[in-house]
A and B are shown apart, each in its own frame.
Chain A
Amino acid sequence: MANTERTPGVVAGRLAAEALAENFGDLNTPFDGHEALVAADRCYFCYDAPCITACPTSIDIPLFIRQIQAGQPESAAKTIFDQNILGGMCARVCPTETLCEEACVREAAEGKPVEIGRLQRFATDAVMAAGVHPYDRAPETGKKVAIVGAGPAGLSCAHRLAMNGHKVVMFEARSKPGGLNEYGIATYKTVDDFAQAEVDWLLQIGGIEMVYDHKLGAGDLTLDALTEKYDAVFLAVGLSGVNALRAEGEDHAHVRDAVDFISELRQAANKSTVPVGRDVVVIGGGMTAVDAAVQSKLLGAEHVTMVYRRPWDRMSASEHELHLATSKGVRIITGAAPTRLTGGEVVTGIEFAYTEDGPNGLAQTGETFTLKADQVLKAIGQHLDGAPGVLDLDGGKIAVTGPGRTSQTGIWAGGDCATGGDDLTVTAVAEGRDAADDIHATLMG
């Protein structure tokens, strides 16, 4: 007897293979050629366009859209990649509704911005599909740079450095490159193994050596060793620590980190092998919480509830993401903090206290309620784990100034592990790129 949405406990295979394939297919249908032309024609080619300002990587958006209009998506893609070498992934995962598309003057005019994200995907997909890498590497400079972490910041930095003729060695703790692009983003946003395809395409620049399963601080991979052997070091190690709930009973079985759940799901070739509860509760109000909640529902959980301790408007997930969650049947409760997880060997419920903003910050009102839960996913943020002691920290992250300069000469940092930015793929790409330019300028004197 196959499992269904109503099968108790945390089990795999709640939905038929066809339903899973449909659920985890591409969330956004790509434009076809004509749709892209119609969408592109809506761009006003604004002077000093607000969308460019809103883009963390400052892509010349009106220019690339005009290039699509003029029938050259490949040229459009080059305009995008010049600023953002991971423009393909960003076209899929950027919260465009709070960045470029929010700034689009047509949003102000009619509440319907130019569909910049989808147009960017149209352009970048054209180049990716053709397998063309539109950059040539400069002659070897003889300089060597170590990059730790093959996520968006590291990859962006590596490409720019390699393009400028430097030799790059990338150390990655996991067995695959991509970082959160590979392990931390909902499956339906990046189908067909796009993250790996994009890295393969990026590495066509040459001059980048990949070293997997090497974590900074483990074995002989130390910051000292790197600074000794390389002309510069770029740290882009991300945030590997997951914040604790600080609620009683966190050690019941089936209480896990949402990032692990998302990662397991992404890596599962067959989604019917991934177990999920019947009554899933996700704690948190960010993109990770939404990705975990929505995917739990798509795996066949009967009830999925996302609970955030502050009011609705404080959630870091965008309205667009929250709308996606509710449209998939996720219930969202705000203003409630977890106090106690109940159960025996496995979790069976979770108690929440309502909260309100008081003079001393968020306070519990004393009123409580309990949700039935056979699986609890924690998505209340990550923190930097194992930062090298020689580096100054700020707010738990590696302190950087300007283009990613740390407190130590010769060491740069970027992406989620460093201060600044919004912990978005696109900001990580910008930081990696800018650090690369600064490293290049420094090395070439």
Chain B
Amino acid sequence: MADLTSDFIGIKSPNPFWLASAPPTDKEYNVRRAFEAGWGGVVWKTLGEAGPPIVNVNGPRYGVVYGADRRVLGINNIELITDRPLEVNLEEITRVKKDFPDRAMIVSIMVPCEEQAWKDILPRVEDTGCDGIELNFGCPHGMSERGMGSAVGQVPEYIQMVAEWCKTHTSLPVIVKLTPNITDIRYPARAAKVGGADAVSLINTVSSITSVNLDTMSPEPSIDGKGSHGGFCGPAVKPIALNMVAEIARDPETAGLPISGIGGVTTWRDAAEFLALGASNVQVCTAAMVYGFGIIKELTAGLSAWMDEKGYASVAEVSGRAVPNVTDWQYLNLNYVTKARIDQDACIKCGRCYAACEDTSHQAISMSPERVFEVIDAECVACNLCVDVCPVEGCITMEELAPGAVNERTGQPVSSDYGNWTTHPNNPATRAAE
């Protein structure tokens, strides 16, 4: 049996699945249920400074994007940080951590960008017995307009500054949560590292409007006929998150900086992908909000079974496995040539490959009157669109042409040499160097 125990910057948990800072971790009641269900840790919903509690809207807080059969593909929210008094949260955190000493208890914090504010709250958080703190520099709505959340996360200098304050005023491990609402995720990650942060977690939600009510012309969720941008999360944002995790993992300036992966983790497979691209653990929110805490059983059993199958003994062994294979486009091997191949026995003759190729791509699939679809090698650029739109898994595949075989599209034999854009004759930079 694979060992799922996790050690994230010294914070131990029985498995690498934490609940992200969000509604599921806002109260003692929810967190106890999560721990009883088997979650490895939680990041307690973001605490603000002492004083009058935050106010939320009293209409709908969530919007949704559905796939088939009302399957939730993504949710956006306009909820703010915890709207319960700081004291109540701190008491509850203390109690729960005491009763579940083996679980990771991280406290998310967002206070104004003034050193005193952080200096005030950090000791109180530390007193709860929690294992670490996460700095919420990601929330894109409501708080950012007040100079917090993603307003900080979008300015690397602020990230560095606040991270430094935190490292100065607490001995707890510091995780900086990053916003994806930025051009290049590497800059805030570098700033966090320079500021002394122990780790980064990403992504926070993506600024979004999920839909418009075409009767009232109000964005959803609608509050008295008006809508505001919210933060999008769930399966739909996973590709964005995976890329950002990988960018940080392979950036020489942040190499080795631990990453907690967040963004659309729904099944064990998603988690394994985040781990492979450099995350050391994952945080989950939307899947739990859609299906309840019971999914932890599938997540842990699934990851464990896959690790056993592949012979990975620990989560750490999986972490970063795919990072060396993430590269820049110019280093991709241009001498790697594939052609689409259609398994005629598996083909159900829907013609989607034909429509896609004929209408929108390279006219590289022929269609006979008997609805037999065949690839025209002389036109096929191996774009993979036919594979993507084929409803039958495994029916269309990409077959690699062996070195020496003639690529009918170019008339040239396939080279056995690795050759990329940097050395390609069409590259002006190559010519300039000559």
Contacts and interface: CB of A to CB of B under 8 A. Distances in A.
B336 to A, nearest CB: 30
A45 interface: yes
B68 A109 contact: no
B69 A46 contact: no
A38 B68 CA distance: 6
A50 interface: yes
A34 interface: yes
B391 interface: yes
A390 B301 CA distance: 81
A228 interface: no
B350 A44 contact: yes
Contact of A47 (B68, B348, B351): B351
B352 A34 contact: no
Contacts of B391: 44, 109
A108 interface: yes
Given A50-B371, A109-B391, A45 B70 contact: no
A90 B156 CA distance: 66
B355 interface: yes
Interface in B24-75: 68-70
Given A44-B391, A109-B391, A50 B349 contact: yes
A331 interface: no
A105 B348 contact: yes
A437 to B, nearest CB: 26
Given A47-B355, A109-B392, A41 B69 contact: yes
A47 B69 contact: no
Contacts of B348: 105-106, 108-109
A48 interface: yes
Interface string A97-112: 0000000011011000
A109 B350 CA distance: 10
B354 interface: yes
Interface in A1-51: 34, 37-38, 41, 44-50
A34 B391 CA distance: 23
B352 A45 contact: yes
Given A44-B391, A47-B354, A47-B355, A108 B69 contact: no
Contacts of A44: 350, 352, 391
A104 to B, nearest CB: 9
A108 B392 CA distance: 11
A108 B351 CA distance: 13
Contact of B351 (A34, A37, A41, A46): A46
B363 to A, nearest CB: 14
A107 to B, nearest CB: 9
Contacts of B392: 109
Contacts of B355: 47
Given A44-B391, A109-B391, A34 B350 contact: no
B352 A47 contact: yes
A414 to B, nearest CB: 28
B388 to A, nearest CB: 14
Contacts of A109: 348, 391-392
Interface residues of B, number: 14
Nearest to A107: B348
Contacts of A48: 351, 367, 371
Contacts of A34: 70
A405 to B, nearest CB: 28
Contacts of B68: 37-38, 41
B283 to A, nearest CB: 31
Interface in A37-78: 37-38, 41, 44-50
A105 B350 contact: yes
Contacts of A50: 349, 371
Nearest to A103: B349
Interface string B339-370: 00000000011111011000000000001000
Contacts of A108: 348-349
A116 to B, nearest CB: 15
**Residue among B68, B349, B352, B371 having the largest count of chain A Cβ atoms under 10 Å:** B349
A37 B392 CA distance: 21
A115 to B, nearest CB: 14
A50 B392 CA distance: 17
A113 to B, nearest CB: 11
Contacts of A41: 68-69
A44 B68 CA distance: 13
B292 to A, nearest CB: 21
B70 A46 contact: no
Contact of B349 (A37, A38, A45, A105): A105
A309 B348 CA distance: 37
B71 to A, nearest CB: 10
Interface string A102-132: 0001101100000000000000000000000
Interface string A155-199: 000000000000000000000000000000000000000000000
Interface string A353-385: 000000000000000000000000000000000
Interface string B372-402: 0000000000000000000110000000000
A41 B68 CA distance: 6
A48 to B, nearest CB: 6
Contacts of A46: 349-352
B330 to A, nearest CB: 36
Contacts of B354: 47
A106 B367 CA distance: 19
Nearest to B392: A109
Nearest to A53: B371
Contact of B69 (A38, A49, A105, A106): A38
A305 B350 CA distance: 42
A377 to B, nearest CB: 42
Interface in A387-424: none
Interface in B90-146: none
Contacts of B351: 46-49
Nearest to B346: A109
A105 B348 CA distance: 6
Given A46-B350, A48-B371, 20 more contacts: A37-B68, A38-B68, A41-B68, A41-B69, A44-B350, A44-B352, A45-B352, A46-B351, A46-B352, A47-B350, A47-B367, A48-B351, A49-B351, A50-B349, A50-B371, A105-B348, A105-B350, A106-B348, A109-B348, A109-B392
7 contacts: A34-B70, A38-B68, A46-B352, A47-B351, A47-B354, A49-B351, A108-B349
- The 10 closest A-B CB pairs, nearest first, are A47-B351, A47-B355, A41-B68, A105-B348, A109-B348, A46-B350, A105-B350, A44-B350, A108-B348, A38-B69
